[in-house]
Amino acid sequence: MSIFLPNYFFNKIWDITEEDLKKIGARLLILDVDNTLTEHKQIFLHPKAEEWLSMVKNSTQIQLVIMSNTNNLKIKKIAEEKAIPYLGNAHKPLSSGFKMVLNKFDVQKSSAAIIGDQIYTDILGGNLFGITTILVTPIKLENTFFFKLKRKLEVPFLKQIKK
Ligand SMILES: [Mg+2]
């Protein structure tokens, strides 16, 4: 398996049903923020993402953790608003943040999963560390040249997943 390929692929995070979560079987879900739960540069949760978070909290025993490579008031605000623990400056795709989170919640790698929209940080990081990886498409594509280039680079992998 390529380290760039996720174990699961959903369109948006809110397309992951309670049934899907059972099948995936993770006790700990690590959540990316930008473009997974919020639109890029938006400080509010997407309403559907907010609903999804409530569903997971109310209907499952799954522990949620927010893990972002940025560390700003937005992450803090969102995490505190939804009473979800968070780790900023996570340095995905490096393993240090993943290790810290799993240790904190005393969860084995086989019981943890990451959900994110970026292959080179969320998916690569999760695969290198050895947890289940779940790719979602960005809530809204970014417009800067850098992000456009990154998206282009991701296309060959996305094509492979769809096959
Ligand atoms: Mg993201």
What percent of the chain has pLDDT above 90?
Answer: 77
Which CATH number applies to 8-162? 3.40.50.1000
Q: Which two tokens stand for residue 105?
A: 């919640």
pLDDT band at 84 (very low <50, low <70, confident <90, very high): very high
Region 14-30: what's the mean pLDDT?
A: 97
pLDDT for 145: 66
Q: pLDDT band at 78, cuts 50/70/90? A: very high
Sorted by sequence, the CB contacts under 8 Å of residue 97 that are 6+ apart come out as 67, 87, 89, 90, 91, 125
Amino acid at 142: E
Confidence of residue 40 (pLDDT cuts 50, 70, 90): confident
Query: How much distance in Å is there from the Cα of 44 to the middle of ligand 1?
Result: 14
Q: Say how many Å lie between the CA of residue 119 and the centre of ligand 1.
A: 9
Instruction: Calculate how far, in angstroms, residue 35's C-alpha sits from the geometric centre of ligand 1.
Output: 5
Range name among 18-27, 95-104, 149-158 with the lowest pLDDT average: 149-158
Name the pLDDT band for 74 (thresholds 50, 70, 90): confident
Please give the distance, rounded to the nearest whole angstrom, from the Cα atom of residue 68 to the centre of ligand 1. Answer: 8
Strand partners, 134: 8, 115
Ligand 1 centroid–CA 160 distance in Å is: 20
Please give the distance, rounded to the nearest whole angstrom, from the Cα atom of residue 133 to the centre of ligand 1: 14
Closest CA to 91 of 73, 109, 71: 71
Distance between Cα 36 and ligand 1 center (Å): 5
CA 161 to chain centre: 17
Residue 85: count of CB within 10 angstroms of its CB:
14
pTM score of the predicted model: 0.89
For residue 59, the CA-to-ligand 1 centroid distance in Å is 25
Q: How far is the CA of 132 from the centre of ligand 1 (A)?
A: 17
Joined tokens for residue 47: 């309403």
Distance 37 CA to ligand 1 centre (A): 8
163 C-alpha vs ligand 1 centroid, how far in Å? 24
Percent of the chain whose pLDDT exceeds 70: 93
